[in-house]
Amino acid sequence: MFGNDADFILSIHRTHAAELRAEAAVDRLARALPRRTTRAWLSRRNHPVRTGDARR
């Protein structure tokens, strides 16, 4: 498959470089998309409940 060690090393380098480019693209996409808001049933906003709210 590989003629010599240099071809093998070059193949590993190219594979690693491709993985790094893919990870960078995923990070860019994650930063470009808006963050999802937390919504509960029927698309109502889900507000965090405080412990004192249950007694009122």
- Farthest CA pair distance, the chain: 77
Whole-number Å distance between alpha carbons of 56 and 52: 7
Predicted pLDDT at 4:
87
Predicted pLDDT at 34:
83
Segment 16-48, tens digit of pLDDT = 999 999 999 999 999 998 877 666 566 666 566
In the structure, what pLDDT confidence band is assigned to residue 1 with cuts at 50, 70 and 90? Answer: low
Predicted pLDDT at 33:
85
Predicted pLDDT at 5:
92
